[in-house]
Amino acid sequence: MRMYDLIKKKRDGNILTEEEIEFFLKGYVNGEIPDYQAAALLMAIYFKGMTPQETADFTMHMANSGEISDLTSIPGVKVDKHSTGGVGDKTTLIISPIVASTGAKVAKMSGRGLGHTGGTIDKLESIPGLKTNIEREKFLEIVKNIGVSVIGQSGDLDPADKKLYALRDVTATIDSIPLIASSIMSKKIAAGADCILLDVKIGSGAFMKTRPDAINLAKTMVSIGEHVGKKTLALVTNMDVPLGRAVGNSLEVIEACETLRGRGPKDLEALCIELSANMMYLAKLGSISKCRAMAKKAIEDGSALKKLKDMVAAQGGDASILEDYSGFKQAKFKYEVKAEKNGYIKSINTESCGRVAMILGAGRETKDSNIDFSAGIFLNKKVEEQINCGEVLATLYSDDIKKCKSAEKILLNAIKVSDTPTNHTQLIYARVSTEGVEKY
């Protein structure tokens, strides 16, 4: 088999066989196929696409390029969730303990933030003492005993994706639906859960900018999951505005705790209830409406918050901080950004908020940048809310006043205020399953 023939075959719009896909992925991971030929094939895939069978084969050979996590020693149904990324998305910290408190098991591997998007591992590490690089045996033990553990992704998981993603990033081949779907699903399959819930984001802070593209990506991922025997569902949700009010690591942990106390922002709480209910449904805990009621009860009776505290303690963290937030590192400056006119918040550009949080110190510009756990933004006003000139729009947290001043300008540009009340923004657009697309 020759790589040249595979590139030509895909360039001409033909279908690759499973053997050809395996030849490419094995050869690329072990260094026999050079970057320039891999890049040419990726570009051919970008333009010609892949059939569902090709996408499933591509996914499985990516997943099998490294370690497949074995969760069979954990009794019960193991359920995983993946969000395609966004700003202020702290849902994992809320839904994992909700779902675990109702009996399903959550053995989750998460990532770090890069660029304008945050990562769950950074958020968790803002809790003093908490470890996310724990031994595999201990991780399995915690999930068995408590029902939930969230750790960093193992270095041996899906090496094909690590290499291909880096190449896609520099060859303008990221935004191809079959390549995104196989990248995400190969990692989820390698992570070993029995069922997978996907949160596919649309909007100014997301990869997918339109509903048809997001629904298409959701359908592709659901079909891959089902093809390899994992029950898979997707919700297509709004990332046109940051989720909740907090953006930044410890600020988001605090907001997650407040949500588990029933005092969180309404959009965040509503999305978390829906995501949790769908995870429980996948774990066969009942109908969607029964699972929704169970999720609400886990917040009301405090059992989900208790689960989070138990997980934090089991991973070496100081769980008392979830009661008394003053134990988190505090930013030197809390800088108020004031409204320049009266009106209603019309829009908040999500990507700009992510950039502002990064400037303040909350995010990484490159993989090796240091982050400040206390840095970030609190949006005192959100879309649809009324504001008067001089009132506080947002509070910036940073150790550097100069950073606050440059962030203020970007944030003021990112928040549009209109004279008239704005239309209600939809939070969840659709639910995609093997049965079809259910519009909300």
Among this protein's residues, is 168 annotated catalytic?
yes
Smallest gap from residue 165 Cβ to ligand URA (A): 6
Residue 59 engages ligand URA in binding (rule: CB under 6 A): no
Residue 404 engages ligand URA in binding (rule: CB under 6 A): no
The 376-379 sheet, strands edge to edge: 246-247, 376-379, 392-398, 333-338
233: tokens are 């569902």
Among this protein's residues, is 227 annotated catalytic?
no
Smallest gap from residue 220 Cβ to ligand URA (A): 12
| Residue 180 or 305 with smaller CB distance to ligand URA | 180
Among this protein's residues, is 138 annotated catalytic?
no
Among 105, 112, 116, 187, the one annotated catalytic: 187
Measured distance CA(64)–CA(366) in Å, rounded: 28
Q: Tell me how long the chain is.
A: 440
Beta bridge partners of 196: 80, 232
Of the candidates 39, 41, 45, 180, which one interacts with ligand URA according to CB under 6 A?
Answer: 180
432 three-state secondary structure: strand
| Residue 127 or 200 with smaller CB distance to ligand URA | 200
> Segment 130-169, which members bind ligand URA (CB under 6 A)?
165
Measured distance CA(228)–CA(96) in Å, rounded: 24
219 three-state secondary structure: helix
Q: DSSP letter string over 253-280? A: HHHHHHHHTT-S-HHHHHHHHHHHHHHH
| Residue 85 or 147 with smaller CB distance to ligand URA | 85
Type and span of the H or E element at 74: none
Candidates 33-41, 88-96, 179-187, 412-420; binding stretch for ligand URA (CB under 6 A): 179-187
Among this protein's residues, is 182 annotated catalytic?
no
| Residue 84 or 276 with smaller CB distance to ligand URA | 84
Task: Using alpha carbons, select from 208, 178, 174, 214 the residue that is nearest to residue 52.
Answer: 178
Residue 183 engages ligand URA in binding (rule: CB under 6 A): yes
**How many residues in the shown chain lie near ligand URA by CB under 6 A?**
8
In contact, 327 and 128? CB cutoff 8 Å: yes
Q: 289: buried, middle or exposed (CB in 10 Å: 19+, 13-18, 0-12)?
A: exposed
Beta bridge partners of 417: 345
Of the candidates 44, 184, 291, 308, which one interacts with ligand URA according to CB under 6 A?
Answer: 184
Among this protein's residues, is 161 annotated catalytic?
yes
Residue whose C-beta lies closest to ligand URA: 183
Among 83, 110, 183, 250, the one annotated catalytic: 183
Candidates 121-129, 175-183, 283-291, 384-392; binding stretch for ligand URA (CB under 6 A): 175-183
Binding mask 72-101 for ligand URA (x = CB under 6 A): ------------x-----------------
In contact, 73 and 144? CB cutoff 8 Å: yes
In contact, 299 and 98? CB cutoff 8 Å: yes
Annotated catalytic residues are 82, 161, 168, 183, 187
| Binding footprint of ligand URA on the chain (CB under 6 A) | 84, 165, 174, 179-180, 183-184, 207
